[in-house]
Amino acid sequence: MAHGSTTAAGLLGDTATRDYSRKLKLFNAFAEPELREAIASLALRPGMNVLDAGCGTGEALGWLAAEVSPGAVVGIDMATAHVNAARSVAPQSSLVLQGDLLAPPLEPESFDLAWSVNVINHLRSPSAGVDALRTLLRPGGRIALGQSSLLPDMYFAWDSRLERLVNEAVRQYYRDRYRLDERDLADVRAIFGLLRKAGLKNVRARTFMIERVSPMRPADESYLVEAIFRDTWSGRLQPYLSQSDRQALMRLCDPAHADFALRRDDFHFLQTFTLAIGEV
């Protein structure tokens, strides 16, 4: 088993010690209906071997296994915390490895599908990631790259100005924190082109809409409040918003405030999930 390096190998500083476990679990619970719909669209068959490249906390391993059983499902992730979490939920028939996606401890041409969600955009060279996945596929195998938020999310349908300012502030925060160019953050939108560039055949794409209105499921509210309002925004955006806009945002994001966004009758959230698929 190859373990990830402790140096920052990823575009966003990912290492073996970095831990997104809570946020990943929240997202998987939130987007489970759409993620499972995306998996179903692949028309997997029993007996196939599937790799979840960047498996995170492992919820998709069970969803994939349900489609291909008695085939094999293998998950790989760089982060120790993610691997431990994935092993705790993976079906007994699945294998979870810790390793570097660019140098996976796996046999070439051993999988029928490589499924990879919200991972390629974390690599300094997304093309190298696609090439690495390609070597693991059997003739006729497929790569399925999933990416959320190719289009801007809609949080505050009643206040497009504040929503625009928040989105711009988030992008500026990431540029400053990771010393990135704006084009580095926009490359995530190019997953379709990555598969074409890699020489894959029959490249196609499908976008699923994650749409939520009030009242929402507890899993939806937990993701938006914890992973977005509190974790992604919170104090991080203070330097990038005026005092009045910052105060307005904090009121909308505070479950204890009368203006809390998720309690509004007109709350309407939209997020895209795009799946780009190509064959070797």
Could you give phi then psi for residue 149, rounded to 5 degrees? 65, 40
Among residues 199, 200, 175, which one has the least CA distance to residue 185?
175
Directed axis angle between helix 21-40 and helix 80-89, to 10°?
50
Structure tokens at 193: 């082109």
**Is the Cα torsion angle 66, 92, 104, 116 positive or negative in sign?**
positive
Give the whole-angstrom CA distance, residue 166 versus residue 170.
6
Q: Where are the alpha helices (DSSP H) in 94-141?
A: 126-135
Q: So what's the pLDDT on residue 178?
A: 82
Is residue 113's pLDDT more than 80? Answer: yes
Please give the pLDDT value at position 180: 76
Q: Which residues pair with 142 in a beta bridge?
A: 113, 279
The better pLDDT of the pair 117, 16 is held by 117
State whether CATH 3.40.50.1980 applies to domain 21-279.
no
pLDDT tens digits along 2-50: 333 334 455 555 788 989 999 999 999 999 999 999 999 999 999 999 9
Q: Which residue is listed with tokens 């575009």?
A: 11
Tokens encoding 249: 């945002």
Name every residue whose Cβ is closer than 8 Å to that of residue 206 and which is 6 or more positions away in sequence.
38, 41, 274, 275, 277
Name which of 157-166, 185-194, 203-212, 246-255 the model is least confident about.
Answer: 185-194
- pLDDT, the chain, mean: 92
Q: Which helix (H) or strand (E) holds 274?
A: strand 268-279
Q: What is the pLDDT of residue 234?
A: 87
What confidence tier does 1 reach under pLDDT thresholds 50, 70, 90?
very low
Contact 93, 110 (CB under 8 A): no
Identify the band that residue 153 occupies on the pLDDT scale cut at 50, 70 and 90. Answer: very high
| pLDDT of residue 148 exceeding 60 | yes
Give mean pLDDT, residues 44-65.
98
pTM for this prediction: 0.91
Query: Phi/psi at 38 (nearest 5 deg)?
Result: -65, -40
pLDDT tens by residue, 214-251 = 999 999 999 999 999 999 998 899 999 999 999 999 99
What's the CA gap between 207 and 36, in Å, rounded?
13
